[in-house]
Structure 1
Amino acid sequence: MATVRRMKLGSQGLEVSAQGLGCMGMSALYGPPKPEPDMIALIRHAINSGITFLDTSDIYGPHTNEILLGKAFKGGFRERAELATKFGIGIVDGKYGYHGDPAYVRAACEASLKRLDVDCIDLYYQHRIDTQTPIEVTIGELKKLVEEGKIKYIGLSEASASTIRRAHAVHPITAVQLEWSLWTRDVEEDIIPTCRELGIGIVAYSPLGRGFFSSGSKLAESLSEGDYRKHLPRFQPGNLEHNQKLFECVNEIAANKGCTPSQLALAWVHHQGDDVCPIPGTTKIANLNENIEALSVKITPEEMAELEAIASADNVKGDRYPSSSGTYKSSTYKTADTPPLSSWNPS
């Protein structure tokens, strides 16, 4: 198996495995929760294999994914892992919403610490930006949590460039989590350059296009009724058939290289720079092992150019999110922090 290198994430001192593990699908949103013993075994196998950067959130379940990780950490595994969790999406007064007020931030952190059964969270992200609370106020409370030793580093998820700058001025932001893959590249225009200018690490979620680059349109046929992906625009009839052409091109290049299409898609993210850490999720040890091997896939400049030509915005059909209002498109990554709640993307 390929050796998992280590990397500096951001410029504040956090070191993680160069590939992480997204844990959401073990407990929520991608079909029924998976058997707990199997998922604990998977998490421990990941850590033993060098994949030590684990990503969760209080909203996954809700709460059950954090509890799962807490159990998996027993027996000395916590000391070998870098733990990232998130806050900011929750129920207040019986309604789902985005929350960044100080009281909510502190209560969410305390609750996550308890569920995870840990003393400190390595990287604590604001999962979605609360546009009703100035980002300076939210980061101010997170700064206090750093000073108290409850969290080590601060992150943002799905934030605009202007919000990232404002947050970073209050306390250094270690990482920004965003969707980045061969079929989601709009972040390259504004968000990625901003992170690099400020020395902020980049964590790419859904680097395999929510599993699309593992098997293309066949994936949609195997999704259970409870799988959130069934409602995503890119998996809808018409869009899916169009996007299958992209998969077939990637598959052809992968076959010529002697790797799988998912390994090639993941390797493409790795080749974006040493400041990028993709966090593919899986619920199967075989898939985890396959993802690790992507670290040893080398892509030539010519192959990168070919992949990026076929993965242009024109060759991808469908938005990232379902939207009842029709107002949230991929392109608003540049200007808007948060999609309408009815369109919430759980990653």
Structure 2
Amino acid sequence: MSQVSIERRDGIAIISVDNPPVNALSQAVREGLTRYIDEAADDDSVQAIVIICTGRTFIAGADIREFGRPPEPPHLPDLIARIEAADKPVVAAMHGTALGGGLEVALGCHYRIATGSAKVGLPEVSLGLLPGASGTQRLPRLIGAERALDMMLSGKPVKAQVALEVGLIDQICDDDKLRDAAIKFAVSKVASGPRRISEMTVPDVEPDLFDKTRTAIARKTRGLMSPEKIIRCVELSTQVGFDEGCKAERELFLECKKSPQSDGLRHAFFAERAVSKVPGIGKNTSVRATDKVAVLGAGTMGAGIAYSCLTAGCTVHLLDNDEEGLERGATTIRKLYEGGVARGKISEEEMADGVGRLSTTTDYG
């Protein structure tokens, strides 16, 4: 089954990506998008184009499993350039999360619409990378250098409403009406034509913005490669033309990608996900209810575990070698509850209920 498809409706070409679970930008997806963008651009019956995704999310990033392999065309920067070069308005219709390469694809489109629950971001810094498909050059032109730096250096996604307020997206729609809203929006932009970010200039910045940013993140990012390279790329977006900035971005991206630092962070990324997948245990595996827990050791860690189990509604049996240790553990648990009451997180009644489900013993038999 093809991972990309096209249909036409009321003069609008709707290009759909279907590559579960997160519609990653695999080679097949890149090839399909390129093919159908060209097809729609050459079709005189098509007045505008919508790029949308099926499933739970818009394109949630590049397929980083391809990073260890020789690159296969079409390359992501080339795809994005092809999208932007279309002489008909191209609208990105986003839901779920548009992250990394997914947001870069959206930035290559001429307009962007998103559901109210959508989030967008460039999290590459967490993998020791920088946005390497024109993101460091497009985002500052669209929302300003300072906001762009914040998004890229933090790696945190922003909500659709925030994205709308800063100009990253053009319209928000109801979660269940994205397709129809995107088509209607695309129709409304036929007369306006394409609006290309590459033809924009970065809004004026404070002269000391980049030096201040380097100073502000110096301690937190000490020893890391990609934050400084991100700053340099955004700085270049204010100093050189779009094409020259993209060339520098690509060179710096490849430096990061080839580094042991990024290799280690990507390894950790996959490892963290692998440990949550136990062989032989799938989504349909029956789960046995657990409402009674025994915790061995009433020290700081044991008391904390016991408290967490109590707050989850379990009955907890706390074991230790002597009564003195048990008393310290029980006192720690009571103080944790009292802290919750003081902060207004729980009521006195909930504290009493939790403490009432705690029993202690020195008998391991």
**TM-score, normalised on structure 1?**
0.27
Considering only CA atoms, is the larger Rg found in Structure 1 or Structure 2? 2
Output the TM-score relative to the length of structure 2: 0.26
